[in-house]
Structure 1
Amino acid sequence: MPVFRTIFDTMDTPMALLKDAANGPYFERVNEAFVRFVGLPRDELTGQSLEALFPGCRLEELQETACVYTLQGLQEQAMRIKLSCRKLDIALEAIWLLTAEDVSAAQWIERQSSAHPVLMSGIVEANYVISKLEKTSPSAALAPVQELDYLQKSILSIIHPDEQARTIAAIQEAARSRKPGNLTIRTKRLADAVDLEVRLVFQPFYDGSGELKQYAFVVMDLRPSTEPVDPAVKLKIVMARCNITALQLSETTGISVQTISKLRNGKIRKPQRLTAELIATELGVKPQEIWS
């Protein structure tokens, strides 16, 4: 048990040891990560009931499946916490190991995605390092943006050098005001050697003590920021904005998937007039916006 407690205390994952009592489970021990996580002193947490910190939380429910609860830390913004629990077999008396995960940023992204079309989303830590990046659009316009290529790298690795100072200033202002922000910025060359103009919304998140923890963001729109742009690239980008695949476009226009694929990869430089009009109408643009 002493070896376990030493490992337990030094883990980066917020964890607590629970014991059961007549009036419900209580915190017998918490690690330093859990103290920072909830923003309460260790001596205040020790002995406190589980339900006092997480109202409505039941030990029997946590043993069956992970549950999400609300934690109101030392700030206006409540945290959404996923808790999981399992019984340990390393002590004579019953002890449960509780682990906690902050899912506030992930749930914010889910709400944004439900309310608006989202092309891409992600989470950036307080030091601007990308910890999550996910493409929600199936379009090939975003194919060069591979999630694993950017994970654990600075957000500045995506943003055009001319835009970096303005972007950092906007992010810092959102953190200071504790309010969401929005930006339209130019990226580095991500899609077929074309700079993209990206419109995004972002929200800062904090730990239980009120310290800045991370930012969540969603990309709402994108378009080429430089001219001239190859028609094939324009078509990919417009399809990404509309969140439509080649198969879906084929089904709605009656144009074969093969023809649409050839238009997107540049094998057909300029389609027949009817083809161009059908595709453009479905994508909500004029044909000359793609094929000048």
Structure 2
Amino acid sequence: MGEIQNQLFILVGALVCLNYLLKYVKFFKYFLLRLWNPLPKSFFRSMGEWAVITGAGDGIGKAYSYELAKRGLNIVMISRTLEKLQAVAKEIEQTTGSHVKIIQADFTKDDIYENIKENLQGLEIGILVNNVGMIYNYLPCHFLSGSDEVQNLIHCNISSVVKMTRLTLRGMEIRRKGLILNLSSGVGRFPWPLYSIYSSTKAFVCMFSKALQAEYKEKGIIIQVLTPYSISTSMTKHLNPNLITKTADEFVKESLDFVAVGDETCGCLAHEILAHLIDLIPSWIFYSDALQNVFLTHWADYLKQNSSIQ
């Protein structure tokens, strides 16, 4: 019996060491990719003629639209505000020479997908960026203190990812190539108190993306979930950029260099380092009342002082 226990402990120890080894190997890929980029310049255009980006009128979606157009793709921009779409589309066409198609759609609604499907008909879609998302409580708060209108959040953060993927994945499967980037969040990597609803919706994006990648990677399709932390956009009230808080343009350019890293990435080196540091915090500390009080006071004050919150 004692011999079996010793072998069991050795096996568990070996598995733990292997797990950490794999994590560090993945982490150091970020440094290696800064020395040489394994992706050829034609990689993104080789996926297909068109890239579809949701939430494309502003922030990260706008940045992906510009960057993918620069890399040779025609762009389908989908967002709620028609005026923003028209202005950004005109700029992209004038500066990159790519064709841009716009689709006005409000992703808090569930009756928009038939119209989107009709507008995408006949396009060779090689890349989908499921970027659209929303948050009700930008400042940390307890669940019962937040908004009761959670259905819009579920439609925008969860249903949009599932339904847009269904609209585009079939063509990728037939052509046996394609790239799907799903924007989750660092707060979706594990339960995050005081952002419980938002964290849960982004956790769904993580699990959905990883499951799909396991199903379709043998068919030549890359499905990657991005879990960034702080990015300065209208959703984060234009938080002041710094070493950790990236601008949308900075994040997007860096994230596209890491599509070969694996099924999950923070999208940029600074956030990958931050994620590893957060992983070192014991759960009993992270979920303690004391740390939650810090978030409710000091973190909330920092957000107010360094963003456009009035």
TM-score normalised to structure 2 length: 0.23
* Larger helix proportion of the pair: 2
TM-score normalised to structure 1 length: 0.24
* Larger strand proportion of the pair: 1
Q: Which has the larger radius of gyration?
A: 1
